[in-house]
Structures are given as C-alpha cells and as structure tokens.
Amino acid sequence: MTEYCSVEMGELTWEEFADHVDGSVVFVPVGSTEQHGPHLPLNVDTVIATEFSKRAAQRVDGLVAPPLPYGFKSQAGSGGGADFTGTTNLDGETLRRLFGDVVGDLVADGATNIVAFNGHYENEYFLREAVDLHLEEGDGEFIIASWWDLLSPDVRDDLFSEVPGGFPGWATEHAGVVETALMMQFRPELVREDRVVDDGPDRAPPYVVKPARDDQIASTGAYYKATYATPEIGERVVDDVLDTLVEGIAHEWGDVVPE
Amino acid sequence: MTEYCSVEMGELTWEEFADHVDGSVVFVPVGSTEQHGPHLPLNVDTVIATEFSKRAAQRVDGLVAPPLPYGFKSQAGSGGGADFTGTTNLDGETLRRLFGDVVGDLVADGATNIVAFNGHYENEYFLREAVDLHLEEGDGEFIIASWWDLLSPDVRDDLFSEVPGGFPGWATEHAGVVETALMMQFRPELVREDRVVDDGPDRAPPYVVKPARDDQIASTGAYYKATYATPEIGERVVDDVLDTLVEGIAHEWGDVVPE
Amino acid sequence: MTEYCSVEMGELTWEEFADHVDGSVVFVPVGSTEQHGPHLPLNVDTVIATEFSKRAAQRVDGLVAPPLPYGFKSQAGSGGGADFTGTTNLDGETLRRLFGDVVGDLVADGATNIVAFNGHYENEYFLREAVDLHLEEGDGEFIIASWWDLLSPDVRDDLFSEVPGGFPGWATEHAGVVETALMMQFRPELVREDRVVDDGPDRAPPYVVKPARDDQIASTGAYYKATYATPEIGERVVDDVLDTLVEGIAHEWGDVVPE
Amino acid sequence: MTEYCSVEMGELTWEEFADHVDGSVVFVPVGSTEQHGPHLPLNVDTVIATEFSKRAAQRVDGLVAPPLPYGFKSQAGSGGGADFTGTTNLDGETLRRLFGDVVGDLVADGATNIVAFNGHYENEYFLREAVDLHLEEGDGEFIIASWWDLLSPDVRDDLFSEVPGGFPGWATEHAGVVETALMMQFRPELVREDRVVDDGPDRAPPYVVKPARDDQIASTGAYYKATYATPEIGERVVDDVLDTLVEGIAHEWGDVVPE
Amino acid sequence: MTEYCSVEMGELTWEEFADHVDGSVVFVPVGSTEQHGPHLPLNVDTVIATEFSKRAAQRVDGLVAPPLPYGFKSQAGSGGGADFTGTTNLDGETLRRLFGDVVGDLVADGATNIVAFNGHYENEYFLREAVDLHLEEGDGEFIIASWWDLLSPDVRDDLFSEVPGGFPGWATEHAGVVETALMMQFRPELVREDRVVDDGPDRAPPYVVKPARDDQIASTGAYYKATYATPEIGERVVDDVLDTLVEGIAHEWGDVVPE
Amino acid sequence: MTEYCSVEMGELTWEEFADHVDGSVVFVPVGSTEQHGPHLPLNVDTVIATEFSKRAAQRVDGLVAPPLPYGFKSQAGSGGGADFTGTTNLDGETLRRLFGDVVGDLVADGATNIVAFNGHYENEYFLREAVDLHLEEGDGEFIIASWWDLLSPDVRDDLFSEVPGGFPGWATEHAGVVETALMMQFRPELVREDRVVDDGPDRAPPYVVKPARDDQIASTGAYYKATYATPEIGERVVDDVLDTLVEGIAHEWGDVVPE
C-alpha cells in the first residue's frame, strides 16, 4: 500500500481531501496563457502562480486546487495584448464566473480560508469581483495576492539596483528581469537562454489606447531587461515573496494555520 | 542553447507556437475535479483527457492547449454528484463560456482544426453548445470526442467479458474498471491499490431524481467493479482509443495531418 | 353551471389550480420544434412529451403545465442538426432559464413534486442544470425523465427483434420505429403514411464533427427504419413507459400520490 | 395517402414547411400562464393569441409557429401580479432570449415577415427588445401586435357604451368584458359561466407600488365588469381585430401576401 | 465652516447621508439621452426626471440619488428610435442591471422607501423588472412613477383643450406640448424657441413595425404640437404632478414622511 | 433666438450634435458614488471626471457625453469598500455593459474618437473590457485615461514634497491631498473645510483580504493627508493633467483635433 501524500488537491482522493480540508488554507493559482517574449513559454504566469502556491502550501500545511491556466485579456501595455499569436484569454465575465464557481464549491466542501494566488497582472479585478459576488450570499475568508505585490520594496529595489533604468513598475516588468529569474528557479528547462533579450515598447503613454498602437508594444513581447535575470535573483524573489505571504496568512488567519 | 520541443502549447514560446499552429491539430483536454472513489484522485478526468491528448498530438504532429481542470456538475448517477467533498464543478454556462473563449482565441491564432478531448461525462453538451455558438460567427472545424465513445465496441466487450455483470454502460463506469486501468497506465503512483473497491449504488432508476436519493449514490464514490482493472486493460484501451481518434482525424482532416 | 375538469393546468382557473396543486405531481412536458423526416411533423417531440404527461397525470391525479414547444439545438447525429428548414431551437442558456423560471414559479405556487417529461434528446443536460441551479436556493423535488429511458430493455429488445439491424441506440432512433409508432398512437392524422421511409446517415462516427459533414446526416431527416413502425408497437411503448414512470413516481413520492 | 394541410407550423413536416415558408407571413403567438379571475382559465392569453394568429394566417396564407405559453411577470395593476397561485411567469431576460432565439431560427429558415402576436399586456417591451437585438445583426421584418391595440377605437367605444363606467383602459381590462367575450368565441367550454363576476381593485393609483398593496389587487383576479361579456361582443372583436391586422399586413408587406 | 445642505445625495458627505437616509424617501431619477426635436436638447428626459425629483424631495424631506442619464432604446413610435443621431440608449438588460444594482446598494445603506422617478417612456418595464428581481431576495418598498401618469386627467384635458386635435396619448406626446412646457419651466435657456415646430409622423399604426418605416417617424423628431407650449402650462404640470406624487407618497408611506 | 452653445452633448439638440460629432473627440466621464471622507461629498469622482472632461473638450473642440455617476465596487484598500453608507456601486458586468452600450451608440452616431475619462480607481478594468468587447465587432478609436495617471511624475513629486511621508501611491490617495485640492478648484462649495482630516488605515497589507478587516479601512473614509490640500495644488494638477491629456490626444489623433 502506498500512502500517497501531496499538497495538490487534484492528486488526493476525495476522502484524503475531506480529511485535510478542514482548517486548511486552500490556494487557487490563477495564471494565463500569454506570450512572454522569445525566451519564455506561454505558461509562465501559470507556472509561477502554481509553484509559489505549492511552496506556500507546504509551509502552512495547506492544499493547492487545480490551477486556472487561462486569464483575462492581455493588455498591450502590460503583456503585449491579444494580437500576439499564442496569447489565449478569457472575457472578464468568464474569468469572474470561473473563479466564482470554483471558490463557491470549495467553500461548500468546507474550505474556510482561500488564497487566490495570481500570476497575471490583468486578472486581479475579476478575481476581486468574483469574491465580492460570492460573499453577497456565501461564506469564507479570502486573500487575493499577486506575487509582485508581495515582494518587499527593499528587496525589489536592491534587485534592480544594477539594472540600468531601475525598476520600471510592475505593469511593464513583463517577461523581464523577475519573471525570467523566477522561471530559472521554477522551470529552468523552459527558459530559452539563447533568446533572452532586452526589449520594450518605444512608447509607454500614461493612458490606454485601443486598438493599440504598434509603438506601444514590444515587438518581441519582452517588456524589460530580461538579460539581467539570474537564478540568484529568482531565488531571492521566491524566498521573499513566500515569507511575506506566509506572514500575511499567519497574521490574518493565525487560528487556522500551524505555527 | 536549448532547442525546446514539446507538444504542450503552454511550454512553447509564442514564436514557436506561431511556427507550429498553422495546419496543426490543436487538442484541448477538458477534465474535471471530481471524486473518483477511495482509490483514485480527484484529477482522474483531467489526467486521462490530457494524457490521451498528448499521445494523439504526438501521432499527428499536433499541439495540446492547457487543459481545463474543472468541468460541469457531477451528476449523482454518473459521478456521485455535488455532495461529495472535493467535487468542484462549474455551472454549465461557465463551462460554455470558458471553452468558447479558448477556442475563439485559438482560431484567432490560426488554429483551424481543434479537438475537444473530453474526460468527464457531464461536460459534453456544454462543449457542443460552445462550439455551436462559436460557429455562428466564427471559423474553424471541430471534433468533440469523449474517450469512452472512441473505444471499439469489440474491444470493450472483450475487456468486460470477464467482469461479472459485463459492461454496465458508460454513465456508471465511474471510477470503475476502465478509469482505474487507465490511471494504472498514465499515473500509476496515483492509484491507491490497497483501496480499490467494487462498489455501486443500490439502485439506478431510469430517470434522474433531484435532490438525489442516497440509494442512487455509491457511498464510496466507486460506481463499478474497479477490482477488475489491470494495467493491461489500460494499455489496450489507450491503444484502441488512440487508433480510433487518429483514424478519425485522418478521415475528417486528411489534408491537414501528416500521413 | 359547468364543472370543468382537466389535467391541463392551463385549462383550470387559478382557484381550481390552487385547490389541486397541493400534494399533486406537476408534469412539465418539454419538446422541440425539429424535423422528423418526411412522414412526421415538426412537433413530434412536443406531442409525445405532452401526451405521455397527460396520461401519467391521469394515473396519479396530477397536473400538466403548458408544454415547452422549443428545445435545445438539434444535433446532426441525433436529429439532423440546425440546417434542416423548420428545426427551430433555443440556445442552451435560454432553455435553462426558461425551464428554471417555470419550475421556480410552480414551486412558489405550492408544487412540491415536479416531473420534467422530456421528448427531445438534446434537452436533457439543460433541464438538469436548470434544476440544479433552482435547488441552490429553492425547494421542491424533481424527476427528469426522457421517455426512451423509461422503456424496459426487455420490451425494447422485443420490439426491435424483427427490425433488421436491431436496436440502434436512442440517439439515432430519430423519426424511426418508435417515434413513428408513438405518433400513430397519439396523433395518427399527423403521420404521412405514404412518406414513411427507411433512411439513415451513411456514417455515424464515434465523435462529433462541427460543422457537420453531409454523410453524417440522413438527407430525408429519418434516422432509422420507420417502415417497421406499427400502431401496436406504439401501444406497447405507451403502456410500458407509463408503467415505469408511474411506478417510479410511487417509489420516490409514495406519500404524495394516490395508490 | 393523406395530404395533410395546416396553418400550424408544428403540424407540418419539414419539407412541407420548407415549401411554404418562402414569402409567407409567420405568426408567433405569445401568451402567458396567468390568473384570469374565477371564470376564465390560466391559458387565456395563449388561447387568444393563438386563435387570432390562426385566423389571420388563414387569411394571408401564412403559418403559425408553436405558441409561447409563458410570458413576462404579471403586474399587480394589470393582471394581479405574481402572488396569485397559478400565475407562472418568466424573467424579462428569459422571454427576450426565448423570443429572440425563435425568430432568429425562423429567419434562418427563410422567414422574412414575422408577426409577434401578443396576448399578454406585460410582454410587449421584451418582444421589442428581442427584435431590436436580433436586428443588430440579423435580417427580416417584424410586426409586433397586441390584440387590444388593433381594436378600432370606434368599435371599442361602441362595445363599452352599455358598460357602466365605460372603457377603463386596457391595462385593467383583465379577465373583463373583452377577454371573457373572446373566450366565449374561441373556447366557450373553458368559460365558467356561473362564476363570472364584476370585480376590480379598490384603488388604482397612477404609479406602481412594489411590493403591491392588497387594495390595488382585485381579490378574485377579475379586473373589470366581465358580466357584460357576450359571445356577440367576442365576435365583433374577432372580426375587427382581424380586419385591422390583415389590412396592416397588406399595407406593410403587400408584396409578400396574397390579395 | 459651511454647513452644506442639499437634497442631492451626491453633494452630501457619507456622514451627512448616513444621518439623513433613515426614514427618508430616496428618489432615483431615470432619464435618457434621446432626440427631442429641433428645439429641445438630448437631456430632456433626464432634466425633467431630476427636477421633479428634487422638488418632491424638498417637499417630503427626502434625498435624490445621482440620476441615470441613459435609458432603454427609444422606439420609433414614441421617441423616434435609434436612428436619430444623438439618441444613445441601453439594452434592456443593461438598464435592468444598472437600476437593480443602484437600488440594491441604497437598500443596503438603509433606504427603505425608494421612488424611481421616470422621465423616459420606454424605461418603465425594465425598472419594474429590476425591482421585481431585487425583491426576490431583497428588502425595501418602491414606487415607480412616470411623470405623465401623475398628471391629473382633468388638468391634462384642460391643458389640451386649446390644442387642435386634443391630447394624442402620451406615447406620441414627445418633444410636444408638455415636454416643451416643462423645459420652459426647468431649463428655459435650453429651449431653442426659434426652432419650436408642430410636427409628427405621417402615420401611427396600431402595431409596431421593425425596422421602422420612415412615415412612422417625425423627420424633425418632434411628435406633437410644441408650438402650443407655454411656461404657464409647464407651471401647472409641475404643480399638479408634484401634488399627485406627494399625496401618493403620503398615502403609501405616511409613517416615514413628515406631514 | 438663442444660439445655444455647449460642450455638453446633453445640452445640444440632436441636429446640433449631428453637426458637431463628425471629427470631434467625445469624452465620456466615468465617476462613482462613493464615500470621500468627512469633508468631501459622495460625487467627488464624478465631479472630477466631468470637470476635466469639459475643460479638455473646450481645448480640442470636443463634446462631453452625459457622465456615468455610478462605478465599480469601492475596494477597502482604495476607497473604503462597500460598507460605508452612501457608497453605491455597480457590479463589474453592469458597468461593462453600461459603458459598452454607450460607446456602441456613440460610434453608431458617427463618433470615431472617444475618451473614457475615469475618476474612480476601481473602474478601469471594466472600461477596458467594455472597449475590447466593443472592438470585436465595432469601430472607433478609444483612449481610456484616469486623471492620476496623467499627472506628470515631476509635478506629482513636487506637490508631495512638503507632505510628511510623501506620495503614498494612488490607490490610497483617496479623499486625500489631490482629490481635496481638485474639489477646491472645481466645486469649492462642496468642500467641508472644517472637517478636513489626516486619516488613514492602520495597516495596508500587500494583498487584498475579503471580507475586509477593520484595521485596513480608515474609519473616517479619508485615506491620506487631506489637510495638506490647497486650491493652488488643485490648480497645478488641473493644468498638468489637461496638458498631458491634450498632448496625448494630439499625438494619437492629430488628424481629428484642431491644432
């Protein structure tokens, strides 16, 4: 007999899940299928959300629900937009319903503490709306966390101190220093090291134009200086983000997580 | 330099995907998160749909889009229903929108031949509706295939010839002989061999009752004689289903697939 | 003074309905407007669902709500598909809302036991979803029954024993032996006896192709050997289906139906 | 061989419908299931809409699609409201989708001239919206006609000249003089003559109050002086309404209807 | 320090609103952006609904929520229809959701008595539906009032006694005598006095045709004899409508309004 | 005769609008009804969006459509959240539909260049989605601009140089320095100067918690140091934001705006 043990909800039998769900934090990784430059695969946001979720779940004895691999529409200024071949996105209402249905059933299963762990910039408001609509009738407590928000400003500034131009803001750090570094940690075999580029759009106006103009989009799909990425940067980001998240969970839900 | 090669769309860069999508069959695995008895994990339908899709993609030089890991509501008579802890389902309209958005973007990316490969009995009509609504305005050709429908009746009857009671119909072959055998092939480490059971509901009326009655639901979640499952049965099913699918694709779309 | 008496809810005054609805089974026939070959009219599914419902209501002292005469989209493999002139269908979400609104109001009126009696193959999953969504907040008990599922396997096999090729499965028994025979019982004047044909598609692949291929569709619209239909077959089917249904109702809801 | 002939689309085979639909006016009766006082059945609006449609179709060689037997929510001031047992209504969006789907498929079948013939006061704006949304993308020409609007003011005033209080406005002529008279024409066996009453609400304020107040609702459900109804009034209304409708159709669509 | 005082909710701080909302009638003006002939601006319906609401709020010590400046689709027979440049309308479902969300939040804020004050003929049924759907789960009492319904028949007939042709019915009194007169009262600077016209469609059939025919639409957009409008008519209408409304509010909600 | 002239679309007749819309930029202000501390009214976001829009329209000879006075749900971290009395918000899908319907009709009216001018932080993604869905089928070019994004970083840093703690990020500059200063410019009579406070939440975690915790919400509703606001700051912000916007419009649409 194999006593199978996993933080992945999908790998548990229903009885194992039932035994574990009470008082456990359930993480729902939310990613996307979106271009990430010439050197990173389409699944970057899903991989990053899932890998962070697994590591966090291990630290708080939680569970990770099956990740959502499609996200809201990539925007030209933050991910290149819908016209890149391979970028495959959902309408906002679809993502709202999808996430709402999943958390609704998880709560019905006994989950009381759910973390939406987000890896795709454009998802955030639809996750918030899904939770707000769920809470009109439903129960549960929710944390919605995007990994870039969890990185300490100090660490962030230190990481970017050697990058010419410094930290550009998260909206445009797409397929850039940190995402590339994280993939070097999580799935190094998926980083095409010979194709890492420093690219970016010619122009980043302080408003959104639709349909997008060509000069607002990086033609390679890489929005910042990915050549500065290193596995060491990835490791520091992983550690710092996880620390912030686990501390946050302990602060909010100290009664349900082990010390 | 690593020349990365994968049938998984998510592992390709957007440029690699763009190079490959023209004239390629794109498989979209559609699974579920649903109880599968005491011996199989919650992700059975997703694993089976994904693994079949990858093998089929290898045979027709196609691609596999990121799988949909949540499906339409489990029904009491075919999967135990919503009350099993761990079963986490979508509303029909959510699944319809989700699949519709994904195929809409894939077609916009240049995919002309899409296979919805379904591993969850209850999904089928919502996938059909998604494609029908897409085709009101959109392009592309679609095959919607559920693995059980692809198994040759001869092979099926032969496989069940030694099972007391014979083939019970696919609706109730849930967490039973064939799903267990397929998991022994695809992810043997996820089969809890010491907990394989022969169970089933006490009663299977020829109509649906809602809310479901207890005696229509197998209390363990296993709906048929899983103890008869063997890896050899799994292997025969994999081979036969793939042969049927690949022949079907060649018949329908001979011009776009390699011989 | 006329003491009007009817099983049809629509023919009752509100006071008569109010007197009768408590403790009564309410049948909602769900049909379609769909081609049924050269010999049967477009309303076959509605007629069959309504006539069965009336007879069942008489046997359990129940009521029949106004029938829904439009159903979900005809599928190429089971009813010819949307391209037949005259086939007039609803989107899945429309049917779901329609049936959900009707049962919601019936429950608000005091109906506690509702039978969705279905005459159109493609309707089933949207009726199930309507009831599932209703039950998230609402009350009532529901049976969803399609007439073909209620026919005893023994009787079915006996009826088809003289048909070359035997029973083809219900999906393709469209405008075939049993539907033709039932119309001979229920509305014989609507059967164009001189146009009864034995037809069927050239090919019935074990998957769905969309847009449908011509060789998967019977050009006349008749999918099976309607020339074998007789009024006697119709009579046996009516009797057997009603027996199964009434027994089922008694089993599930013995306390609310008269013995 | 029976040469079956009917104005009812549902009674035609698909081939007969296909032969007839080109250049024919197709009527879609839209009714309701709504209380109509102690003397009239719940299906009054559907019966009236259907019977007018059949007679009009005979005069213009048109066709009648299967009637919609459920309508938008009864309002307290015009039909008693949702609280009457037996009143079974649809949400506005459901009716909009339902009618929109039906006319969409009829137009796809070749219908170019469609009459929504309405028998339920509250339906009108949702039928208009359905047609407006259909016409954003779709084809066809539409008449939306409610029978009361078609009655000539002269005839109307003459009919009410002997009713104390005269014509009260159509909103409150519910289960009153004209509806009762029409049922005496169309389905006399459904009129409970011994229960015809003169009733009405105590108060009819010039605004809507929700939830409705009791004194705004006629407790019997009859809103006006039904005792003044006669079959002769019914006959005059039938003739006048049909004349107005047929003249209107000839005016709008003279090229598609026979003289 | 300024002690700011206003009936306009939008001009209050949240604390001032919180102090005032309990036991106050909250008016929600619902208008449109719709052509109103050559002499009146596009915002007529919104101005009228808002100005009546403010005056009523002053009389009952109530509050006026921010007005909804877009309404349901203008219809050819009552407002010229969608083809007039400048007419900018909402789908019915959008208006239903919009009004439903607003009243839902107002009720959550403590409002118990809400008046939807409507200035656009076509809005009414979608406001009713919004309230009906709100009341399925929610609380509160609602009056839905359109200003033309509040005008006493006696006053109306007196006002029109000197207009050749008399009162034409409210559907076609668009940009006509009363709306022009009201704007002369409420916003005289917006009335282009040199462009006031007497116009109307050539034909007003007793049914709706879609797409609309040209001869059913007044080419100037003015549907009735605006040249008969005077500020004095406007004043009488304002006074009479307000009296009716305030009396109605006192009758329905005497306990919550000051005497 | 008065020759009325206004940048407000609502104040124009349809003919005046028709004359002006071709080649004009149309601004649609999008605000909210949301608490803004003890010193600012609920309509701050709408006032600011509208006033900026009018000034910009004057500079580019454009038009201002009627403002949308309700926005997406206030979030605890950026505006206090739904629990403040007076905050009255829309579901995301409602706002998406509302804005989509408005821009759809404006484009149908001939508007080719539309600026969504946003005054409420939480609206942005639903405006983007509305435009993306519009552009799937529709025409037009769109700028979506939020005033805080248009403020030059240099000016912003200079303005905050004397505020202890400096610039806190826009999410939390709610009812703070800049919004207060803008209201001092646009509607000084609405600023309760005696109630201006320096407040803020006790804690601003780098993730969202739902339901929100009390210590994440400023109890007064003011999120930053409003006491540092001056009319001069307001004036500088107005000038700088307008310069950026008008330059942006000239850059994107130089061909349609006057020099």
User: Does A19 reside within a domain?
Assistant: yes
The domain tally of chain A equals 1
In a 3-state reduction of DSSP, which class is residue E213? Answer: coil
**F149 chain-A contacts, CB cut-off 8 A:** 206-207
Contact between B155 and B236 (Cβ < 8 Å): yes
Say whether pLDDT at C3 is over 70: no
List of chain D residues whose C-beta atoms are within 8 Å of the C-beta of residue E150: 206-207
Tracing tokens 């929610």 back to the chain, one arrives at E138
pLDDT in tens, C60-101: 999 999 999 999 999 998 899 999 999 999 999 999 999 999
Residue E57 belongs to what domain range? Answer: 9-251
Residue among B11, B36, B88 minimizing CB distance to A109: B88
Q: For chain F, what percent of residues have pLDDT higher than 90?
A: 88
Crossing angle between the packed helical segments B44-60 and B231-253, to the nearest 10 degrees = 50
pLDDT of F8 > 70? The answer is yes
**What is the 3-state secondary structure of chain A?**
CCCCCCCEHHHCCHHHHHHHHCCCEEEEEECCECCECCCECCCHHHHHHHHHHHHHHHHHCCEECCCECCCECCCHHHHCCCCCCCCECECHHHHHHHHHHHHHHHHHCCCCEEEEEECCHHHHHHHHHHHHHHHHHCCCEEEEEEHHHHCCHHHHHHHHCCCCCCCCCHHHCCCCHHHHHHHHHHCHHHCCHHHCCECCCCCCCCCEEECCCHHHCCCCCCCCEHHHCCHHHHHHHHHHHHHHHHHHHHHHHCCCCCC
Q: In this structure, is the dihedral angle defined by the CA atoms of residues D154, D155, D158 and D159, taken in order, positive or negative?
A: negative
The pLDDT value recorded for residue F259 is 56
**Which two tokens mark C156?**
């079915």
User: C-contacting residues of B 121-160, CB under 8 Å?
Assistant: 122, 124-126, 128-129, 131-133, 135, 141-146, 149-150
pLDDT over 60 (residue D259): no
Contacts of D30 in chain C (CB under 8 A): none
List the single best residue of F125, F247, F251, F252 to mutate versus A (max A Cβ within 10 A).
F125
Of the residues E45, E124, E199, E240, only one is catalytic, namely E45
- Say if the Cβ atoms of E209 and D143 lie within 8 Å: yes
3-state secondary structure E57-77: HHHHCCEECCCECCCECCCHH
Q: How far apart, in whole angstroms, are the C-alpha atoms of residue E109 and residue E19?
A: 11
Distance CA B42, CA B61 (A): 30
Q: What is the mean pLDDT of residues D21-40?
A: 97
Query: Between C2, C38, C82, which is nearest D15 by CB?
Result: C38
Q: pLDDT at residue D141 above 70?
A: yes
Write out residues 84-123 of A within 8 Å (CB-CB) of B: 84-91, 93-94, 97-98, 101-102, 105-106, 108-110
Q: Render pLDDT for B83-94 as a digit per residue (tens, 0 to 9).
A: 999 999 999 999
Q: What is the pLDDT of residue C159?
A: 94
Q: In this structure, is residue B55 part of a structural domain? A: yes
Query: Is B89 in contact with B70 (CB distance < 8 Å)?
Result: yes
More confident residue, A170 or D208: D208
Q: What percent of chain C has pLDDT over 90?
A: 88
**One of F20, F39, F51, F122 is an active-site residue; which one?**
F122
Instruction: Tell me what pLDDT residue F2 has.
Output: 45
Does E151 fall in a domain?
A: yes
Residue B185 near residue B231, CB atoms below 8 Å: yes
| CA F245, F246, F252, F253 torsion-angle sign | positive
SS3 E231: helix
ipTM (interface pTM) = 0.96
Structure-token match 């019970």, residue found: B168
Query: Which CATH number does the domain housing residue B133 bear?
Result: 3.40.50.10310
Active site residue B36: yes
pLDDT of residue E155: 96
Between strands A25-30 and A63-64, the pairing is parallel
pLDDT-derived band at D233 (thresholds 50, 70, 90) equals very high
Strands (E) in C3-84, as ranges, are: 25-30, 63-64
> Mean pLDDT, 10 residues at a time, over chain B (259 residues)?
77 97 96 97 98 97 98 94 95 98 97 98 97 96 98 95 90 91 98 93 95 94 92 98 98 79
Is the per-residue pLDDT at E139 higher than 70?
A: yes
Containing H/E element for F216?
none
Alpha-carbon Rg for chain A, nearest whole angstrom, is 18
Distance CA(C80)–CA(C77), nearest Å, equals 6
Q: Which residues pair with E33 in a beta bridge?
A: E88
Name the pLDDT band for A2 (thresholds 50, 70, 90).
very low
User: Tens digit of pLDDT for each residue in E16-59?
Assistant: 999 999 989 999 999 999 999 999 999 999 999 999 999 999 99
pLDDT per residue over F128-155, tens digit each?
999 999 999 999 999 999 999 999 999 9
What is the pTM for the complete model shown? 0.97
Higher pLDDT, E12 or A162: E12
Cβ under 8 Å to C: D residues 17-76: 17-18, 21, 33, 35-43, 46, 65-70
Q: Which of B210, B252, B255 to mutate to test the interface with C (most CBs of C within 10 A)?
A: B210
Please say if F45 is a catalytic residue. Answer: yes
In a domain, residue A73? The reply is yes
For residue F233, is pLDDT > 50?
yes
Cα A135 to Cα A28, A141, A142, C200, distances in angstroms: 17, 9, 10, 52
pLDDT surpassing 90 at residue A78: no
DSSP alpha helix (H) spans, chain B: 14-21, 44-60, 76-79, 92-108, 124-137, 147-150, 153-159, 177-186, 231-253
Which chain B residues have a beta carbon less than 8 Å from that of C82? 132
Q: Do chains F and A touch (3 or more CB pairs under 8 A)?
A: yes
Structure tokens at B159: 């496989």
Coil, strand or helix: which one is C208? Answer: strand
Q: Residue A90: list chain B partners with CB under 8 A.
A: 97-98, 101-102
Q: Residue A43 is nearest to which of B11, B40, B109, comparing CB atoms?
A: B11
Query: Which among C85, C107, C134, C190 is the top mutation candidate for probing chain D, defined by the most D β-carbons within 10 Å of its own β-carbon?
Result: C85
Residue D257 in domain: no
Measured distance CA(C126)–CA(B96) in Å, rounded: 12
Least confidently predicted of C194-198, C213-217, F59-63, F171-175: F171-175
- For the residues F47-67, what does the mean pLDDT come to? 98
Is the pLDDT reported for residue C2 higher than 50?
Answer: no
Q: What percent of chain B stands above pLDDT 70? A: 97
How far apart are the CA of D154 and the nearest CA of chain C, in angstroms?
32
Q: Is B45 a catalytic residue?
A: yes
User: Tell me, what's the pLDDT at A70?
Assistant: 98
E51, E124, E173, E179: which one is catalytic? E179
SS3 content of chain C, % helix, strand, coil (to 5): 50, 15, 40
Residue of chain C whose alpha carbon sits nearest to that of B81: C132
D259 within domain boundaries? no
Rounded CA-CA distance F91/F72 in Å is: 6
Query: In the structure, do chain F and chain C come into contact, i.e. share 3 or more CB pairs under 8 Å?
Result: no
User: Is A230 contained in some domain?
Assistant: yes
For residue C32, give the nearest of C73, C91, C76 by alpha carbon.
C73
Is C259 domain-assigned?
Answer: no
Q: What is the pLDDT of residue D17?
A: 97
CA-CA distance, F259 to F255, in Å (whole number)? 9
Give the rounded percent of residues in chain D with a pLDDT score beyond 70.
Answer: 97
